[in-house]
Amino acid sequence: MSAFLLEHGAGSDLLPQLESALGQRAARGTMLAQIAQLDRSLSAVACEAFPGRLNLPQLPARAPRLQSLGELELLRDHLIGSLCQAREALAARELERDAARELLEQMLLNPAKHRGVRISQRELGVGGCGVWSVMPRLGPMGRLMGWWRVKLSSGCPLAT
Amino acid sequence: MSDEVEAEFPGLRADWLGCACTDHRCDRGVGERLALLASRFNGRQALELRQQQVPDAYRSFSRQVGIDPDQQPTPIEQALLGRLLRGGNLPQDRISDGLLLALLETSVPVIAFDAALVSPPIKIRSAGQDQVVAGAVVEPGSLILADSQQPLCQLFSPPQPPLAAGGASDQLLLVAIIVPDVSALAADEALTIAAAAISGG
């Protein structure tokens, strides 16, 4: 009986519909997994950037709901863009810190050549709020005699 | 509509537990525990919490349902942000303190309803067209909590009066919202901690 029905096309419309539904389900599952993984990667980058902040584009606020496949794709693409942006920002920050460390090395080697230069601990990527600066030894005498040294300030003054 | 949600997120569900609340005043022991928890987190630790399993599960789920967790923080992140801004976990009332304690200990959000007005089972489903939840029409398809008779509140939104547990509620229904990848153990622990803190047991 079933062979007779199949021979005459019965059920043939159901198969593409079933395949389409299964394909949709699989596609949605893949999208959701990708979105979760991208969020984890973004979280890792945000933790690495601390105490700095990543200024990433934000999505408009809305209520939680099931999203269409198109919306999931757009969200995934948005997260990929945000992740790239975040990684670029971190890389740029690391370059700036390398430059600051290099400059500090030069200051320590030849303080007289870097009079007036100040580098904060934050620029170096080190915790705390001190500042490295080139200052004359023994005040005005040092300034006149050309005696310079690199000094690390003690940090934030007490609040008055 | 709940079948659709179940098919999309197999592990998404609500667990509930009833408890009594005869005294609504702040409990000193709960207040001390909240103060102790407040000293556990600084800014970096609050940020890095998102990489732990349960907070990460809520964050991922938020993304998957269209919420930007950096703009609308998950319940645990919202609680930690409040702690950082206020400088501590300030006691408010017995019910709020108990729910906050459960959230901080387990990262699982628990909400409280007046048990006299809510009838289990509690399910998570999509809102219908022109669905009214807590006195306001919600977007069709948005995820809501509902019991066997009525919609209760939007997912991750606090319940509103008269369904929300308040000063006049003697019997409460505590509901934990469990997202995929959160274990049943964490959910049970959250409900137990909240119930013990609220009932004083």
Q: What was the pLDDT predicted at A24?
A: 84
Give residue A138's domain range: 110-160
Number of structural domains in chain A: 2
Q: What was the pLDDT predicted at A97?
A: 94
Domain boundaries, chain B: 2-199
- The label of the residue with tokens 């005043």 reads B25
A35 in the same domain as A75:
yes
> Which residue does chain A place closest to B181, by CA atoms?
A36
Burial of B178 (0-12, 13-18, 19+ CB in 10 A): buried
φ and ψ of A152, to 5 deg: -100, 120
Q: Which of B76, B81, B42 is nearest to B59 (CA)?
A: B76
pLDDT less than 70: residues of chain B:
1-2, 201
B2-199: CATH topology is: Phenylalanyl-tRNA Synthetase; Chain B, domain 3 (3.50.40)
Q: What was the pLDDT predicted at A126?
A: 85
A77 in the same domain as A15:
yes
Residue A138 within a domain: yes
Retrieve residue B127's tokens: 């809102």
Q: What was the pLDDT predicted at A5?
A: 53
Contact between B65 and A71 using a beta-carbon 8 Å cutoff: no
Residue B13's beta-bridge partner residues?
A: B178
Interface test with A, best of B9, B61, B62, B63 (most A CBs within 10 A): B63
Q: Give the whole-angstrom CA distance, residue B42 versus residue A154.
A: 24
Q: Give the whole-angstrom CA distance, residue A132 versus residue A154.
A: 10
Residues of B with CB under 8 A from a CB of A: 4-5, 7-8, 43-44, 47-48, 50-51, 56, 59-60, 62-72, 126, 138-139, 141-143, 154-156
A118 in the same domain as A46:
no
Q: Which of B102, B152, B156 is nearest to B123 (CA)?
A: B152
A114 in the same domain as A76:
no
CA distance A21 to chain B (A): 12
Contacts with B178 (C-beta within 8 Å, 6 or more apart), sequence order: B11, B12, B13, B14, B15, B108, B184, B186, B187
pLDDT less than 50: residues of chain A:
160
Residues of A in contact with B59 (CB under 8 A): 39, 43
Residue A101 within a domain: no
Measured from the Cβ of residue A116, the count of other Cβ atoms closer than 10 Å reads 7
A86 in the same domain as A28:
yes
